[in-house]
Amino acid sequence: GRRNLDKRALVIGLGRFGSSLSLELVERGWEVLGVDTQPRLVQSYAEQLTHTVIADATDEEALRQAGAHQFHRAVVAIGDRLEESILATSLLVDIGVQDIWAKAMNRRHGRILEQIGAHHVVLPEHDMGERVAHLLSGRMLDYVEFEEGFSLGTTKAPRELIGKPLGQTKVRQKYGVTVVSVKRRGKTFTYATQETQLHTGDVIVVAGRTDDVERFAESAP
């Protein structure tokens, strides 16, 4: 599995997405080879990334010269140029890179990337737009959505849950959510149990279907 692979990544495209990703990997002790066609951009990351190369990732020979075949992992972070992104991804598949992450502009683009062999497709703008809509229109402080509409969200403790053990609040029957964890002001998160009693101002982590978590959060102060 992925766990066994080395801590090295090839990143194609050093725009906003590719550069943030690369810098974070380096921060985490990874070796990153950053590739971009723009000399100025490559130059500006030359100091911070392990290796940088000016190259066109749609050119198979250039990719090989950059050493792409030596990487188990690659990220295609080409922005809005569909054709380039698709071509670069397909070349990495041909080269035999085992774990390819590709950034898509939209669902259709993502589907194509999957079909040509990308192992992971990310839709940053789409996902972030959706996320902001949830946060803006609801009462959750933060949330993460997993598959099939299941979420973990944080919210302030609703008034009706305060002052009695969670086990007696019927929160699961009433809202279909489970309180997983609690954070008192100035403290860190701890696991919630049946006996946990919430206080005004507590922040809680709630698990459940996204709709249910949102409905629950609506009852927060």
Judged by CB under 6 A, the number of residues near ligand ADP is 22
Residue 60 or 145 having the CB closest to ligand ADP: 60
Residue 45 or 143 having the CB closest to ligand ADP: 45
Which one, of 80, 110, 65, 91, lies nearest residue 15 by Cα?
80
By CB under 6 A, name the one of 14, 75, 100, 204 that touches ligand ADP.
14
Site track 80-99 with ligand ADP (rule: CB under 6 A), x = hit: xx--x---x-----------
d(CA 191, CA 47): 42
By CB under 6 A, name the one of 17, 45, 101, 143 that touches ligand ADP.
17
Residue whose token pair is 């050093």 = 14
The residues, ordered by sequence, that sit 6+ positions from 201 with a Cβ below 8 Å of its Cβ are 156, 157, 184, 185
Residue 42 or 203 having the CB closest to ligand ADP: 42
- Kindly identify the residues of this chain, within the stretch 48-87, that bind ligand ADP according to CB under 6 A: 56-58, 77-81, 84
Please give the order of strands across the beta sheet that includes 51-54.
51-54, 31-36, 8-12, 73-76, 99-103, 120-122
